[in-house]
Amino acid sequence: MSKKRVSGSSCIKNIYDLMLKLLENISRIGSVEMLVSRGAPFLSLVRMRRIFVFLAILSFTHTALGNPVETIAISKNLDGPVADPPVICSSHFRSFPLNFALFSGTPTCSSENEADGPDMVTTISDGDTPPAFTIDSTSNSAGPKPPTNLTATTRGATVIELSWYPPVIGPVTGPDENVEYLVDPSITGYRIEVSSTGAEGPWTTMVANTKSSARFHNLIFAPETTRYFRISAFNEYGESDPSNVAEATTTAPSVPDSPIDFRSEASPFTIRLSWKPPLETGGAAITGYRIQFSPHVSIGLADATESWSDLANLGPTTTTYTKRNLEPLTGRNFRIFTINRLGESKPVHTQNVTIEAATPTVPNPPTELNAEWNSQESGIGLTWRHTTYNGGLDLTGYRIEVSSNAGTSWSHLKELAPEQNTFLHFGLPINTTYFYRIRALNVRGPSRPSNVATATTGTTTTVTPPSSPTDLTASPSGSDAIILRWAEPSNTGGAAITGYRIQVSPDGNTGWTNLYSGLSTTYTHRGLTAGTTRHYRVYASNGTESESIASNVVTATTTAAISPPDAPTGLTASTSSPSTIILSWTEPSNTGGSAITGYRIQVSPEEETGWSDLHTGTSTNYTHSGLTAGTTRYYRVYASNEFGESGSSNTANATTSAATEPTAPTSLIAEPFGTTAIKLSWSAPLESGGSPITGYRIEVSADGTTGSWSDLQTSAIETTAYTHEGLRAATTRHYRVYAMNAIGESDASGVVSATTEGIGLQFAGETGSHTYTMNTVIPWYVLPEAHGGMPPYAYTLTPALPEGLDFDASMRTVSGTPTTAMSATNYIYRVTDAEGTAVNLMFTIEIVEAVVFKGMIHDQSLARGQLMDPLMFPDASGGVAPIVYELTPGLPEGLIFNEQTRALSGTPMMVTQAPIHLKYSATDTNGSSDSLTFTIEIFSPVAIENTVLPRSFTVHGNYPNPFNPSTRIQFDLPENALVILQVMDVLGRELMRLPVKEFDAGYSHGIDLNTTNLASGNYLYRVIATGSNGLYAKTGHMTLVK
């Protein structure tokens, strides 16, 4: 780095100090013009080939201290050896830019030392007077200075944020010894390097060039990762040295952040929710989202935990959810959680949403009704497509109507369930034509009828004998009757069943005789005697000459005359565990002429007294469970038949053993409970181990293999049921249960498994009507994606799109450039899954004519200071509303264009140097546009205006405004003055300063401003004029649009 010194004449020192006070900052520009005329010097920064030099730009008379200024001397660094030969450039020019490009031409510069290069200092003097002031500056290296104050901040389990200060240029030291630093605006980007071992490296480039002057960058790492960072800056000449090293460590995995941009959209009976994934996942993959709702309108009430109910559990890629069939004019609050394997995020809420009301209506009619004769089924088969709109209410079914007279009159044929879309009309005469229509039903009533479908029965109908009756059963009804029941044949042979014939036999082999003929499918054979056995078979007929073959043969025996049975015998009691005693006995040898219908067991703690009923059943053994260890009990048993009860059996007793662990729970059942839960239930152990059951422990496994089991709950469950919630759709889990008592834990129950329900095929969103403009490229419109059902999916769009538009089924997009107009047309967007299930969405497309003007605008010549008659611009036709009208570039001061009325009006305030070219354009929503061009010229209404001086300092604003990147600022001066132009941001901080320039008194002076190095936005400008009568300053607003 080398020091530079700039010198000037002492005769203008005082004027220099005055001008310096007017300047708040030093602007950086590309070249500076030196004027040899009247005035005083000021300071500006010039860029000379990679070297920044501060020059004193002098503006003074042709002589200084009586001597003419004829030389501009460029000499080696003043601190260098005296023997260095000087480099002299002589010029008699009045003004020229000071930059090295000029020095390669005229005037010429020469040096006896080739090593001098550009490392020079410029002095301007009259060739006689020594310099009276100096300005120190430092030349720049090939690249910028390094960034400073780099910090690394942890933003969760995966994100580290870097921030730093950008490089600066300076220091700048003026005559008053003040030192300032400026942000280096040449920075084009930063390199980010990372090390995993420490501040000494080795270093790896993580971001080669941010290509931005942004001061921070978010970096993604694994949880609990420590990294070291450094950065360097780029400009067009090279790269800086690295910054300081900063260190940060991501946190341990945790629950994720909440979803962002959670929105709700209400429509009649429907709420649509949408969101975006969180930026911080907690270091683990997002496994899903949980949506809850609360009916409380008050946020305070909705915050109560008990007021929230689960609405949906969704997959990790889902970002929308639609809830239909909601009650209108009711409030809802919604909240959503992000889920990963570590848990749930904090919820994020929507504001209260009111369900929009719409008057429920009857449904739309079903579509595509088709009728066709089915010769194999001997009937007319009907098929149709479900209604596309249920009227805002659930469907209750479909009604089929039939006509045999071409629709002159209709009769009600059948009402079907809402999910049905097929029907077979059979039992019809041959060669007969029938007409059908169908209506959808809800509680509001039937829809309009569908299209009419017609079919004709065959000329012949083949009727065959029916198949056998099925499920024949026989059961005694007391001692004198047997009841028969059966079902009709599965195949009626193409005609209705006309009757059944029952045959009976005493032995089932011979002696079959007809018992009954009729249409009923039940019959009671009466008049039998007690203990009589009979065998039965049934035939069916349908009017053909032959009947079916016989059904299965069944047998039954009427009951005998009865009396109470004898007492059971051989009762024994034995201990099987600390909590159970097993009883067994033998059936009475004399049952009383009737089957034993059951046994009654009594129990007593003492042999003689305290008897009570324990159990009633049909088995000849029983296990008395639930006893405590060391308990003695006495037992007796009674037998029963239809007539009565026997006496008691012998008495038996047993004593339970000491307490042990319980046996395993039994009858474990797992069944799906919707798409997100599985319900479990089981029975208590057969043996409690002589100690009360204190609870149950459940284990769960994804695959049921050894080593994959884990506890499902954190504490013991006291009931024999549990619901495993929070699962995804179509998820399989395996379960086993343990019982616990005070002694210990049982063995595991048997393993069961269940799978949550899948999600039905549906679209993940809706699509509305679309209006496009002819000959205008439309962006890709992505139709909703399907989910649920059985992938893969096939998408279709019917009918064919108009010329110029294409549907890409693989991308689900409509795109292209429509070339012909088309009225609104209905399109059906259908998805079909691998199982053949299909779902439709309907929407409309309309193509309108392109935007076009059918008039013109004449060139305008206006007088300064005179109110113009409003000029109405022509209206555009075609296009899709709204049409936006625009006049560019900006108008001269005093003129106004009203976009709503399309009128130009006002009083022009500045004279134009040449006609201004303007473009009047109209653009529709789809980007179709047309334009007209014309010019505006503003002239002085009287010649004297150019000879009479203004009375005051006036700034007329900038034109054009908005602008890109150049604009002109015009002003009037009442006297000769030196003028400076400053550009500031909206906070008043200076961004640019143009060189001082002298203007004569007069009207419509202008300074051209180029803002190539500024970004789009709103800015302030200030015009400062210094004349013999004092200082003038005016500030205005301007807008830069890039």
Instruction: Give the start-end residues of each E strand in 512-651.
Output: 513-518, 522-525, 533-541, 554-557, 569-577, 580-586, 598-604, 612-617, 621-624, 632-640
**Beta pairing, strands 929-939 & 860-863:** parallel
pLDDT, block means (10 residues), the chain with 1042 residues: 32 34 29 28 28 30 34 36 36 30 31 36 39 33 80 85 83 52 80 92 89 66 88 89 93 89 79 88 88 68 64 90 70 87 88 64 91 83 90 89 89 92 84 94 91 88 82 88 91 82 93 93 90 94 87 90 85 87 92 85 91 94 88 95 90 90 92 90 87 92 87 86 88 94 92 86 86 89 86 92 93 93 93 88 93 90 86 91 90 88 88 88 92 90 60 87 90 91 91 92 88 92 90 90 88
Two tokens, residue 985: 């941001």
- pLDDT at residue number 55: 31
CATH number of 669-756: 2.60.40.10
Contact call for residues 819 and 834 (beta carbons, < 8 A): no
Exposure class string for 289-321: b at 16+ Cβ within 10 A, else e: bbbbbbebeeeeebeeeebbeebbbbebebbbb
Q: Which fold has domain 473-558?
A: Immunoglobulin-like (2.60.40)
Q: What is the pairing mode between strands 838-848 and 770-773?
A: parallel
Domain ranges of the chain: 148-171+180-249, 260-298+306-349, 367-457, 473-558, 569-656, 669-756, 762-848, 852-939, 954-1040
Predicted pLDDT at 592: 76
CATH number attached to the domain at 569-656: 2.60.40.10
Question: How buried is 710 (Cβ within 10 angstroms: 0-12 exposed, 13-18 middle, 19+ buried)?
Answer: exposed
- The torsion region of residue 988 among left (phi > 0), alpha (psi -120 to 50) and beta comes to left
* Predicted local confidence at residue 215, as pLDDT: 59
Residue 171, number of CB atoms within 10 A of its CB: 13
Architecture, CATH, for domain 367-457: Sandwich (2.60)
pLDDT attached to residue 211? 78
Which residues, in sequence order, are bridge partners of residue 88?
73
- Structural fold of domain 148-171+180-249: Immunoglobulin-like (2.60.40)
In the chain, the largest separation of any two C-alpha atoms, in whole Å, equals 159
Residue with the two structure tokens 């329900």 = 757
Residue type for 556, please? A
Alpha-carbon distance 790 to 808, whole Å? Answer: 21
Looking at CATH, the fold of the domain delimited by 852-939 is given as Immunoglobulin-like (2.60.40)
Give me the residues paired with residue 385 across strands. 367
Topology, domain 260-298+306-349: Immunoglobulin-like (2.60.40)
Give the CB-side neighbour count of residue 827, counting CA atoms within 13 A.
Answer: 24
How do the residues of the chain divide into helix, strand and coil, expressed in percent and rounded to 5?
5, 50, 50
What pLDDT sits at residue 175? 45
Secondary-structure class of domain 762-848 per CATH: mainly beta
Q: In one letter, which amino acid is 437?
A: R
The answer to whether the 260-298+306-349 and 669-756 domains have the same CATH topology is yes
Which residues make Cβ contacts (< 8 Å) with residue 828, sequence separation at least 6?
Answer: 797, 798, 840, 841, 842
Helices (H), 822-975: none
Q: Is 251 exposed, middle or buried (0-12, 13-18, 19+ CB in 10 A)?
A: middle
Is 2.60.40.2550 the CATH number for 954-1040? yes
Residue 697 Cα distances to 248, 578, 723, angstroms: 44, 22, 13
pTM score of the predicted model: 0.30
